[in-house]
Amino acid sequence: MMRELSRLAVLGSGHVGPVIARLAVKAGYPVAIATSGDPEDIALITELVIPGAQPRWASDAVADADIVVLAIPLHRFGDIDPAPLDGKLVVDAMNYWPASDGVLEPFEDGGSSEIVARRLAGSTVVKALNHIGYHELEDRARPAGAPDRRAAGVAGDDPAAVATVAGLVDRIGYDPVRLESLRAGRVLQPGGPVFGVVLGLPEFEQAVRQDTRSLT
Amino acid sequence: MTYTFGLDTFGDRNSDADGTPASHAQTIRNVAEEGVFAEQAGVDFFGIGEHHTEYFPMPAGDVVLAAIAARTERIRLGSAVTVLSSDDPVRVFQRYSTLNALSGGRAEVILGRGSSIESFPLFGYDLADYEELFEEKATLFAELLKGGPVTWEGKTRPPLLNQDVVPHTESGPFPVWIGVGGNPQSVIRAARLGFSLALAIIGGPPDRFAAYSQLFQRALEKFGRPPLPVLVHSPGHIAATDEQAKAEFWPRWRELIALVAAERGFAIPTKESFDAETGPHGALYVGSPETVARKIATNLRALDATRFDLKYGMPGLTHDQLMTNIELYGREVIPRVRDLLS
């Protein structure tokens, strides 16, 4: 018997959240979407832009979720209460991108997902779905085995969590490339070799291998 | 159904035929010529987008629009976009209601951030405050547009108490749009404030925005407002043949994207992605008049939109190439799209 798919809570209904939520709904995941406010405020967005997802209060969505996807602007991350995320697998799809969004002092030192993980000390954080543009993420998704399928990075310190998120990335339409730590996931950040381009598996692996930013 | 067709520019710095960059001053004079010529070619709207860079030296487009207004009679003139977050809504209203007066009621404003971020440090704003700045200032702008004394208080500019803001418009509010690049909450905001929706589609398949167009009309209903138009803004370049248009545009587009990529830290797109964007399902309108007309007609239908604004030009193209683009757009593309849609 097939195990049921994980329940997803996508936090954020801006550029990125709805795209990830749509892809996850298409892949068969039960998906809740939430913002910092009343689900009624995103009911219309959900109905028309993310049909099949449930708009919920963030606390309810998180409580029922196996995987929580953070798709909020990074400067709002400080508003997130870490406690309800304890024990959860958290996918960090956010980026620290000062050239586009301004400088944030707490993120000036190190990889952004490592800093996120430090604050969410009770969660297992995996970096993924951050490096392909929201305008391309859905269009470039392909089923497994498609000749023009592209790759997406999945980085984390916990191999089981990385495997779960790699499964998610695979089901929504990308060949997952596992990176052995959040630190190694720095290669997926703005300024890195795969940020903003959509590469096939061999090119992606080569670009990641040649990069040394996780060593700095 | 009445369709309207516009041209937008960011004041893309021109080059001479031999590749020498034109001066900023010459580029600005060329933009004024292009606006005047757009009316002669049959274009309905001419828009100038605010930018503050070496390759888009266009921070005061309203001044250029005023020069065009003085030499034209019919074409509508507006911003595309005004970076409201780093400006004062009172000043934006005053500049465009002045343009509206000069042009006999032909002014429009598109509010947004565009891809422009340079104005934030330039004027002392923090990009992290972008949302709050835009929300507050757009709300104030909606108040100013109603005419009559304004009372307003917020965090992003000094309060106004029963303030009469001049010049008054002659015949009610001028058209205002909000530019949206993919955030559905911005669509809701446009509906809530009663502004029309400008979909800025600069990458990826345009038809993914169909849900946004429906969302806009449904949100207008929810807020008890009448239907408002949707416009599509996308970049492109028109020449006699598909091959010529691509040959002229691709190296200039690649150069620009490489420059922005270096500034902002993303990887440079490939020729393959350019070909996808200029193909039938991409966001760039590059080709012969027939190719571009078909793509415009298809996407206006798919997105239930009644206006298309072509962002023409690219840093490094010549003024002559842009004039040819304008002529082909006005004399061939627009009539052909109207044909295809009738």
Establish if B216 touches chain A: CB-CB under 8 angstroms: no
Identify the residue with better confidence: A132 or B1. A132
Residue B146 CA, distance from chain mean position: 23
CA dist., res. B127 & res. A98, Å (int): 9
Establish if A37 touches chain B: CB-CB under 8 angstroms: no
B109-129 mean pLDDT: 87
pLDDT one-digit tens code per residue, A98-140: 888 888 999 998 899 999 999 999 999 999 999 999 988 999 9
Query: Which pLDDT score is estimated for B128?
Result: 83
Q: What is the DSSP letter of B330?
A: I
Using alpha carbons only, how large is chain A's radius of gyration in Å?
A: 16
pLDDT one-digit tens code per residue, B214-266: 999 999 999 999 999 999 999 999 999 999 999 999 999 999 999 888 888 88
Query: Which pLDDT score is estimated for B262?
Result: 85
- Helix orientation angle between B24-41 and B61-70, rounded to the nearest 10 degrees: 50
The model's pTM: 0.94
Residues of A in contact with B263 (CB under 8 A): 99
Residues of A in contact with B219 (CB under 8 A): 44
pLDDT one-digit tens code per residue, A34-58: 999 999 999 999 999 999 999 999 9
Chain A residue at shortest CA distance from B271:
A197
Residues of B in contact with A99 (CB under 8 A): 117, 263-265
Closest CA of chain A from B126, distance in Å: 7
Summary mean pLDDT of chain A: 94
> Does the structure show a pLDDT above 80 at A205?
yes
CA dist., res. A106 & res. A116, Å (int): 10
Instruction: Judge: A136–B183 Cβ closer than 8 Å, yes or no.
Output: no
Which of the residue ranges A160-169, B20-29, B202-211 would you say has the lowest mean pLDDT? Answer: B202-211
Name the nearest CA neighbour of A190 among A104, A95, A114, A77: A95
| Residue in B203, B205, B265 closest to A190 by CB | B265
Closest CA of chain B from A200, distance in Å: 13
CA dist., res. B117 & res. B80, Å (int): 15
pLDDT one-digit tens code per residue, B128-174: 888 899 999 999 999 999 999 999 999 999 999 999 999 999 999 99
Query: Which pLDDT score is estimated for A4?
Result: 76
Instruction: Judge: B126–A44 Cβ closer than 8 Å, yes or no.
Output: no
Amino acid making up residue B194: G
Tokens standing for B166?
């001049």
Establish if B258 touches chain A: CB-CB under 8 angstroms: no
